[in-house]
Amino acid sequence: MASEGKNLVGVDVGTSSIKVCEIKEDRKGGRVLTRFGYHPLPPQTIVDGHIMNAGAIVEGFDRLFHKVKRRDVALRVSGHSVIIKKITMPVMTSAELAEQINWEAEQHIPFELADVQVDYQVVSRREDQGQMDVLLVAAKKEEIGDLTNLAMEAKLKPKVVDLDAFTVQNCFETGYGAPDPTQTIVLIHSGASLTTLNIISQGTTAFTRDVVNGGNAVTEEIQRQLGISQEEAEAFKCGNAHGAIPEEVPSIVRGVVESLAGEIQRSLDFYLATSGEQQIHRVYMSGGTANLVPLQEELSARCQVDVSVLDPLLVAQPDPGSVDPVALQGRSAQAVVAYGLALRKDKERRLS
């Protein structure tokens, strides 16, 4: 997609919190973060990707947009309701592709076509072979509708619905530059209940996968083993508890992150085995769970590569006049999806 016009306000509704980012761009390509908002959600607000407590989300929107005029927003969906597949098709014109894509979607998407919103993008053409690679995306209309209806209930104006994997990629490419086409880079977004992998090869998305595991598993295990409240367990996990952290906590955290790192490694091994590629060159992590140092260390040891936390501040530094730097402290990894959404514009056109 090519973008023009004003930046939308990025609104990331996650399992445990809502994050809001607004970025202002100038004509010279400079960017500044003019607004950042964070609102925690009660437990069980979203379960397995389904909204269970609509009132809590609307209340969060109302608080985050209190007295805010700019209400054109970009939202995101993820998880079981989303399918991303890279398919190979014969080279054809844009008009021919538009006619053909629904038939292709029926072959590759395990949902009824009437139940999903389908989109696509040509990522590469191999004219000499008469083939082109197309990224095919489908998201369940019900999930999109549930989220956009709640936004509209809070008097927001949804203009774009994006996917986790692509918002993180958008943030990464804007902050770090176009990926080196000779390297294979993995972007891992790990939130409270879901971890999304996006493998970029030859400069484009080659493979995506969701792992139904995240930071909540760590919190729940601390809670279970120590017999404490969810709030206490979360504070121990994040290292911001009042008073001393029990000596058992680090080993509990390491045990759970070993399991998550193992699931991630199996996905990466599957990709390497089926793609014919030799190695992963670099891993970047985002999401709240990315802040767990034992997870970074475990992944680095298993994959034998550097694992870094993706820094959205390379995209846009906060405006000191409107964004309290303390509000972002420790939350920048959680803000990556909202940053990526805030890079979307209110006018977009498909590239042929």
* pLDDT tens column, 116-166: 999 999 988 999 999 999 999 999 999 999 999 999 999 999 999 999 999
Residue 297 pLDDT: 96
CA distance linking residue 85 with residue 121, whole number of Å: 11
Q: What is the CA radius of gyration of the chain?
A: 20
DSSP string, 165-224: HHHHHHHHHHHH-SPPTTSEEEEEEE-SS-EEEEEEETTEEEEEEEES--HHHHHHHHHH
pLDDT of residue 349: 52
pLDDT band at 26 (very low <50, low <70, confident <90, very high): confident
pLDDT at 50 > cutoff 90: no
pTM of the full structure = 0.92
Q: How confident is the model at residue 2 (pLDDT cuts 50, 70, 90)?
A: very low
Beta-strand relationship, 31-40 and 317-318? parallel
Query: How do the residues of the chain divide into helix, strand and coil, expressed in percent and rounded to 5?
Result: 40, 30, 30
Is pLDDT of 195 > 80? yes
Domain extents in the chain: 2-349
- Partners of 195 in beta bridges: 190, 211
pLDDT at 4 over 70: no
Confidence band of 348 (pLDDT split at 50, 70, 90):
low
180: left (phi over 0), alpha (psi -120 to 50) or beta: beta
Q: Provide the percentage of residues in the chain whose pLDDT is more than 70.
A: 97
**Residue type present at position 254:** R
For residues 279 and 320, the answer to whether their CB atoms sit within 8 Å is no
User: Which of 310, 300, 308 is closest to 333 using CA atoms?
Assistant: 310
pLDDT digits (tens, 9 = 90+) for 76-101: 998 888 999 999 999 999 999 999 99
* pLDDT above 90: percentage of residues in the chain: 80
Residue 239: predicted pLDDT: 82
3.40.50.2000, 3.40.50.720, 3.40.50.10260, 3.30.420.40: which CATH number matches 2-349?
Answer: 3.30.420.40
Mean pLDDT, residues 234-259 taken together: 89
Mean pLDDT of the chain: 92
The candidate with the shortest Cα–Cα distance to 35, out of 48, 20, 46, 53, is 20
The tokens describing 333, both together, are 């990894």
* 29 has a pLDDT exceeding 90: no
Report d(CA 95, CA 54) in Å as an integer. 40
User: Quick check: 2 and 343 in contact, CB under 8 A?
Assistant: no
Check residue 350 and give its pLDDT.
44
User: Quick one: pLDDT at residue 326?
Assistant: 82
